A and B are shown apart, each in its own frame.
Chain A
């Protein structure tokens, strides 16, 4: 590689890293507790616990909906969801209007058997961490900004791999020059940790970027696929009364055999049209549990209107989520995720240190050159 090419890649690596450093540190630091958010919520008492019922039958969906509305009088239901890892809990989302602002949504957990209110969901310190991690309390612009920082991170990684060759070609793999200066030692650690974590960092970085586009993708789906699914119902007003949710669930299951309902979106919410329920169905394997299939049902009669697989970009979004969160391989994978997160912090920190040292060295060099050029007093 020519010296000029190395310099060019070095400039790309330096500046893409420097511009994104503060935000990447924020993402790594807030991401660390978020890996264990479930455990932390449980420890701090923010995780609702279902009652023990033995093998008792689960309450009907309509009964859960009634309980949710009774717990939040004067408001409307937006979504009801079932977490496959928490079979004893049903979560209900209420808001002042079906298309109300996300920040006004109240999320509550109900016992899946008795429909007893178990408490609010998604509150406490982990909510602050989540908001800092996803949009820095700046809404959609904050999300897109962090997505941009994620792209810079990806460029920094690629340029780092290119620079790995000229910096390490005379060394054996995983050599740390312990007898050299502190700067050289940290350069070796920076190169080693950076290159061994490259695949993980790229996957987590890029899936994070994809996640920041979630709302844009959802809007695209609504404008194209969903619009064509509800086209035969164009001009129909919002339902004057809602169909029984038990009917909605039963018909959705008949339409997607072998699948379970992941969540139901009520008519008028961002996930469906103003006239339809959308039941998002999931499979039972690790992969199919992530790939949701929407079934649209008439809001008044509960009849199935249409059902289509999600487009590739939304499927990519759904698959990218576990790859970003690291929550799909049990506790050992979470611990590994946390260790890799810490290693990324070391790479970012050491990169910053190396830049500062080089800057200081150059400044000293310039001062020396100036001193040499200055006339000697007689």
Chain B
């Protein structure tokens, strides 16, 4: 029982974000087709969400690297 609930919690932790992003993408793709101009605005945000996530992770990696480099330089 315990193991099964732990596994489902783990499953949710792994797949929650991808599922939310996928649902947002699908909603955006359909919104632009069904709701005219308002749908277009929705699509720009939701279909663009995966691009934003990747950009955010890339910036985070760059800033972490730069921060470590600066700290190392200061330490010297």
Contact = CB atoms under 8 A, between A and B. Distances in A.
Interface string B24-44: 011001001111100110011
A340 interface: yes
B29 A323 contact: yes
B22 A198 contact: yes
A197 interface: yes
Nearest to A339: B51
Contacts of B11: 165
Interface residues of B, number: 35
Interface in A274-316: 285-287, 290
A76 interface: no
Give the interface size bracket for A toward B.
35 or more
Contacts of B17: 173-174
Chain B interface main SS type: helix
B14 interface: yes
Interface of A: 161, 164-165, 168-169, 173-174, 176, 178, 192-193, 195-200, 203, 285-287, 290, 319, 322-323, 328-330, 332-333, 336-337, 339-340, 343
A178 B65 contact: yes
Contact of B33 (A173, A199, A323, A336): A323
Chain A interface main SS type: helix
Interface of B: 10-11, 13-18, 21-23, 25-26, 29, 32-36, 39-40, 43-44, 47-51, 53-54, 56-57, 61, 64-65
A343 B33 CA distance: 23
Nearest to B57: A174
Contacts of A339: 48, 51
A330 B43 CA distance: 10
Nearest to A197: B50
19 contacts: A165-B14, A165-B15, A169-B10, A173-B16, A174-B17, A174-B53, A178-B64, A178-B65, A192-B53, A193-B50, A193-B54, A196-B53, A199-B21, A200-B25, A286-B36, A332-B44, A339-B48, A340-B47, A343-B51
